[in-house]
Amino acid sequence: MLNTRTWIADRLYRVFTYQKVDRVPDVEFGYWPQTIRRWLNEGLPAGLESERNCMFSAKVDAHFGFDVGDWAGIPVNTGMNPCFEETILERRGAAVVMRDSSGVVAQRYLNDADESSIPHYLRFPVETPDDWREMKQRYRLDDPVRSISAYAIEEIRGAMKTGKAVSVWFCGFYGQLRNWMGMENLSIAFYEYPEMIHDMVEHWAELCARPIDSLPPDIRIDMVNWWEDMASKNGPLVGPRMFREFIQPGYHRVMQAARKRGCALGMVDCDGNPHDIVANWMEEGVNIMFPLEVEAGVDPYAWRREFGPELRLKGGIAKEPLVRGGRAIDRELERIRPLLESGGYIPHLDHLVPPDIPYRNYCEYLEKKRKLIGKL
């Protein structure tokens, strides 16, 4: 029988379930490593030099004083086993062509050099159904690494007793298939190998859902976190019809398993402008969208009018005003004030902090945002 607790301390959970809360959480969403390097010359303490290559740094977050969520995580292992052996295939100046542990061959910079960028992908491990049959053996459903330990279960039980919310994190279905195939190969495979795509989605859904099904009956799930990044400023990389046919059955399988354990929230991290598939996600209980990229054309007010309060929102503060500072920051925060007051919304920058934002301006933004949300 599920735990019947009615009180969860975490502010994010209470905001997104429209419960009474003192204020929204003070959170942000990471930094470009180049930003950290710039800020080390502009006032960020030298003691944070070790974080110069980090996108998501707990130490830098602690320096700024962000809130820490009151959550317990379920340690589901959906990873590849065994992984590929990392191999350098060719050296090209400061860059190398290498096969990484996921089987992807790409040209990339070593040691995260200042000139580093998104890798230039050359080949992915899955191109045909034969490749998928081989890859599938690295993600066996009966692999003992998929089991959740008794120790972890007891840790979750203890956290639940203290009022912590419980979450689980998964790579989304398009995102995982793209990891295996690359965007171009995947786009073609929807048409050339539809049976393979269905099998890939079904297999990934079982990898995610079966550990949930196996949990003792008293373990509750409050939120499922998804990473997708399946949109650009021109819209999603898969339209709503294709999403419904190929991708949505996977979301349905996993979210249904979570809902049986009391899950009220599903949050998806999707860059760009995924507007056209928001309704598909919401049908399956994925009801929090972030980071709401303003430059990609996301209008959170329009989304709220279209989808109503059932759609929760997180992010949505444009980065460009922080480049200018001063009144530009004031105007941007005033722009999101009515949305904040309507509830079901947590404001933060609409993606990682880029290196054209000065340290002084970022500190100014945080001070003004904290005044707006009532964090004294």
Percent of the chain surpassing pLDDT 70: 96
Please tell me the predicted confidence (pLDDT) of residue 8.
79
d(CA 234, CA 231): 8
Condensed to tens digits (0 to 9), the pLDDT of residues 182-218 reads 999 999 999 999 999 999 999 999 999 999 999 999 9
The DSSP call for residue 48 is G
Condensed to tens digits (0 to 9), the pLDDT of residues 11-45 reads 999 999 999 999 999 999 999 999 999 999 999 99
Condensed to tens digits (0 to 9), the pLDDT of residues 50-101 reads 999 999 999 999 999 999 988 999 999 999 999 999 999 999 888 899 999 9
- Name the least confident of 129-133, 286-290, 372-376: 372-376
**H-run or E-run covering 372:** helix 359-373
| β-strands 265-269, 235-236 pairing | unpaired
Please tell me the predicted confidence (pLDDT) of residue 93.
83
Condensed to tens digits (0 to 9), the pLDDT of residues 351-366 reads 999 999 999 999 999 9
Please tell me the predicted confidence (pLDDT) of residue 3.
44
Give one DSSP letter per residue of 87-156, joined into a string: EEEEEETTEEEEE-TTS-EEEEEGGG-TT--S-EEEE-S-SSHHHHHHHHGGG-TT-GGGSPPHHHHHHH
Please tell me the predicted confidence (pLDDT) of residue 112.
54
**H-run or E-run covering 213:** helix 194-213
d(CA 131, CA 156): 38
d(CA 302, CA 114): 39
For residue 207, give the nearest of 176, 246, 228 by alpha carbon.
Answer: 176
| 271: its two tokens | 């860059």
* One-letter amino acid of 186: L
d(CA 33, CA 28): 15
- Residue 303: pLDDT band with limits 50, 70, 90: very high
Compute, in degrees rounded to 10, the torsion defined by CA atoms 334, 347, 175, 149: 180
- Residue 1: pLDDT band with limits 50, 70, 90: very low
| 332: its two tokens | 């941007």
Condensed to tens digits (0 to 9), the pLDDT of residues 236-275 reads 999 999 999 999 999 999 999 999 999 999 999 999 999 9
Give the list of residues 6+ apart from residue 157 with CB closer than 8 angstroms, or none: 218, 219
Using alpha carbons, list the distances in angstroms from residue 242 to 236, 239, 298: 11, 6, 22
Please tell me the predicted confidence (pLDDT) of residue 376.
77
Is the pLDDT confidence value at 175 over 50?
Answer: yes
| 373: its two tokens | 């949300």
Please tell me the predicted confidence (pLDDT) of residue 70.
86
Condensed to tens digits (0 to 9), the pLDDT of residues 142-171 reads 999 999 999 999 999 999 999 999 999 999
d(CA 136, CA 283): 29
Please tell me the predicted confidence (pLDDT) of residue 69.
86
Instruction: Find the helix packing angle between 183-192 and 173-181, rounded to 10°.
Output: 100
Is the pLDDT confidence value at 109 over 90?
Answer: no
For residue 267, give the nearest of 282, 247, 289, 240 by alpha carbon.
Answer: 289
Tokens 């999101």 identify what position? 336
Please tell me the predicted confidence (pLDDT) of residue 2.
46
Alpha carbon of residue 124 to chain centroid = 22
- What mean pLDDT value characterizes the chain? 95
d(CA 353, CA 36): 9
pLDDT, mean of residues 102-119: 77
| β-strands 120-123, 105-109 pairing | antiparallel
Model-wide pTM > 0.85: yes
d(CA 99, CA 88): 6
